[in-house]
Amino acid sequence: MSEQRSLSGHELKITSFINEIGDLNAGVMADAIQHLNSLTKPPGSLGRLEDIAIRAAGISGELAPDYGKRAVIVMAGDHGVCEEGISAFPAEVTPQMVMNFLAGGAAVNVLARGARADVLCVDMGVNADLAHEALITCKTRKGTGNMTREAAMTRDEAAAAVLGGFELVARLAGEGYRMFATGDMGIGNTTASAALCAALGGMTPDEAVGLGTGIDEERRLHKVEVVKRALACNRPDDSDPIGALAKVGGLEIAGLAGVILGAAAHRCLVVVDGFISSAAALVATALAPKAAAFMIASHLSQEQGHAALLRKLGLSPMIQLDMRLGEGTGAVLAFHFVDAALSVMREMATFESAGVSRE
Ligand SMILES: Cc1cc2ncn([C@H]3O[C@H](COP(=O)(O)O)[C@@H](O)[C@H]3O)c2cc1C
Ligand SMILES: O=C(O)c1cccnc1
């Protein structure tokens, strides 16, 4: 089927930018390992911090890159599937929270201030007319269709949204940003993410569906049925990530897949947030397996399907704080650990400089 499809302009552009994604710089990674082993500690004793430092070196091509200019990209979109009663909150919360992000009052704003990260809020498809000087608008449509009855969006809309995320990161990389966190806002998006886990990640709806904003077990079972109906109605093909995204995904999820691909193409580090961002990572790596090397998983969300999704992605989360919020909150917290890893690279004394014996 994929071979017979004629690609739209958006898809052709996606195919060409995916070709820009390179490999990690093996030489600089070897230098980073050598440097870490010269520092005053038993080799490997800083554990995952060492892995982060090595990865940052491979991504940037520098021993200790300057990640001073960093942002959390919070992408927002609405979901037609909210008509099915799958969230504990009403859809109006999506635009209301966008205004809260722009005013600086949401959890992600507070945590981003602590991590010295800019919060960039993007309207990927909120079902309202939003106006604010700081809002980035990349709107393909106002909310998705109800995926239990129709495709969430057209194939071309999904591709346009992915491209929007990619182009945003291309612009930001041009402005000097080198590290990104992914964030989401969209009431109903744990349902779309669960459907993507089933469509592309080999998970059953029951494994993938969790409590989202806080529904009870009875409503979760209803949500499982909603996902099953969406899959039966749309029949996503696991070898066609853009098609699956169009059928059962979301506009903000598509945009975040583009952000991840853009970060990889521009050799930036991308720290992936919770369940929704990981669903976007699933789409991104299905499109471009090489993008996986540029991602770090931040935290293990309490959302039920997240652990299995991270395993499928081959990612291991840095922290587990029992969070289940999204917005990029876990990812900006993880910036602190990236900073710590790079401080080790820059500031620790070597055995030689400190006169400490090795044997
Ligand atoms: C006030 C509020 C702030 C949020 N910030 C992120 N989410 C999170 O909850 C939503 C997903 O859960 P579900 O699929 O159950 O609707 C997303 O918007 C996600 O970002 C929020 C949810 C609420 C209510
Ligand atoms: O892990 C997440 O991203 C998440 C979990 C529940 C609700 N919103 C987001």
d(CA 58, CA 177): 17
What is the distance between the alpha carbons of residues 270 and 175, in angstroms, rounded to a whole number?
16
Per the annotation, the verdict on 175 as an active-site residue is: no
Q: Tens-of-pLDDT digits for all 359 residues of the chain?
A: 444 677 889 999 999 999 999 999 999 999 999 999 999 999 999 999 999 999 999 999 999 999 999 999 999 999 999 999 999 999 999 999 999 999 999 999 999 999 999 999 999 999 999 999 999 999 999 999 999 999 999 999 999 999 999 999 999 999 999 999 999 999 999 999 999 999 999 999 999 999 999 999 999 999 999 999 999 999 999 999 999 999 999 999 999 999 999 999 999 999 999 999 999 999 999 999 999 999 999 999 999 999 999 999 999 999 999 999 999 999 999 999 999 999 999 999 999 999 999 98
- Choosing from 50, 252, 303, 327, the catalytic residue is 327
- What's the CA-to-centroid distance between 52 and ligand 1, angstroms? 29
Q: What is the pLDDT of residue 4?
A: 62
Query: Contact 130/351 with Cβ under 8 angstroms?
Result: no
- Which of 81, 86, 93 maximizes ligand 1 atoms within 8 Å of its Cβ, making it the mutation to test the pocket? 93
Q: Residues lining ligand 1, CB < 6 A?
A: 87-89, 93, 97, 184-191, 212-213, 325-327
What are the structural domains, with CATH classification, of the chain?
8-64+345-354 (1.10.1610.10), 70-337 (3.40.50.10210)
pTM score over 0.90: yes
Contacts made by residues 231-240, CB under 8 angstroms, sequence distance 24+ = 231/195, 231/198, 231/199, 231/205, 233/147, 233/148, 233/149, 233/150, 234/147, 234/151, 236/195, 236/199, 236/200, 237/1, 237/2, 238/199, 238/200, 238/202, 239/1, 239/2, 240/1, 240/2
> Do residues 125 and 161 touch, judged by C-beta distance below 8 A?
yes
Please give the Cα distance from 157 to 331 (Å, whole number). 27
Closest-CA residue, ligand 2 atom 5, reads: 324
Residue nearest (by alpha carbon) to ligand 2 atom 7: 212
